[in-house]
Amino acid sequence: MAARHRLLDLTRLVSRVGRGPLTGIDRVELAYLDRFLADPEPVRFLVATRRRFLVLDRPAGRAFRERLAGSLPWGPPDLAALLAPRLPWPRRLAEASLRREAEAAARPGRLGAHLPLGVAYYNVGHANLSAALLAELGAVPGTLRTVLIHDTIPVDHPEFSRPEASAAFAGKLAAVSAGADRVIYVSEEARRTAEAHFRRLGRVPPGEVAHIGVTLAAPDPATPLPPGPYFVTLGTIEPRKNHAFLLDVWEALAERLPADRLPRLLILGSRGWCSEALFRRLDSHPLRGTVILERAGLSDAAVAALVAGAAGLLHPSLAEGFGLPPLEAAARGVPVLAAPLPVWRETLGEFGVYLPVGDRYSWARAIEGLAEERARAGRTGALRPALVPPAWEAHFRAALTLP
């Protein structure tokens, strides 16, 4: 029997071109791209542009990967890119490059004519998820449509998202309920929340849990580290990450400790959405620039160095589907202080220290203790035995084993 063709949706990664370091979901789509390029099975890649779908073959997928890595230039734009002024310029270049290398360009309703029979479609980035697309793929004989669900936060916690994002994600869940042949969940918590929505929608697709892998970047030894013990929080600055609470904690620490014993807080991540009051507070904070340090756009190697040297990683997030930063820190032997979310019990287990969000004094005392521990241990060396994180191989064994 001939090997089933794989079709990986790369719409999310294309949309991220020129928008800074990749997020956690972006990295999952990238891991699938790397795996599909490495495997011998026949593969194509799908990209949704504004008016059509682009179907890329393996060489074009590899060229896209090399451009993402910076080893190939995107090249000059074509006329269609020049006529797309609403797209950011790097994405216009990306779409122009992909159009030149596309194996086929199909308008909605005609995609099936450009695909082999029996294709295994994978959407792992929450992008390009629509009822129309899943129905169109389902009309191709033998197609198996697999969707990976990271979380359902936009519909469960609309207060943490833009209003339009909540409505759009509700439509994506409805599309998956109606049109997915199976669902992969990154955690039991993601499965619990998603299947609750699917039951209300009338159909729960077959599904299973497969923790995503954790790949540790090598630290850049040239990265300058702050003096004295410091803590990091890593992720986009947005409401559910609860950065405002960490500012409360540092103000409590400043009341308890003399200035020379006050640990530093490194906020690693870009500014996101729905956080204007927090941004104003950060910009005017009296500790900004000396004790509270904000860093965006760092390389993976620089982030790895800062996390590895920290007295702890702080993650008072109010909602998560999986969350890579605590696992990455734990895998380096860095203590993790986290909110008591079910997903952390599932993935971190006893490695995490779970503290109630809102109890700034408990967090302040724990931070003070870890700072003293780091000061005694010196700048380098793990403070805890390293956690063995989930591996990509185990994830792919589950996700790529077809029924």
- The CATH number for 265's domain is 3.40.50.2000
Which range (158-162, 211-215, 328-332, 378-382) has the least confidence?
A: 378-382
Regarding pTM above 0.85, the answer is yes
For residue range 64-84, list pLDDT tens digits in order: 999 999 898 998 888 878 878
Same domain for 67 and 139, yes or no, is: yes
- Mind giving me the DSSP string for 198-253? HHHHT----EEE-PPP--PPPP-TTSPPPSS-EEEEES-B-GGG-HHHHHHHHHHH
The CATH number of residue 103's host domain is 3.40.50
Same domain for 25 and 170, yes or no, is: yes
For residue range 135-170, list pLDDT tens digits in order: 999 999 999 999 999 999 999 999 888 888 899 999
In a domain, 383, yes or no: no
Domains in the chain, number: 2
In a domain, 224, yes or no: no
- Look at residue 192 in the predicted model and tell me its pLDDT: 96
Same domain for 234 and 185, yes or no, is: no
Rounded Cα distance between 64 and 224, Å, is 33
In a domain, 382, yes or no: no
In a domain, 299, yes or no: yes
Same domain for 86 and 192, yes or no, is: yes
In a domain, 386, yes or no: no
Rounded Cα distance between 47 and 161, Å, is 25
Same domain for 242 and 99, yes or no, is: no
Same domain for 270 and 206, yes or no, is: no
Residue 276, classed as helix, strand or coil, is helix
Which domain covers residue 253, as residue numbers? 230-377
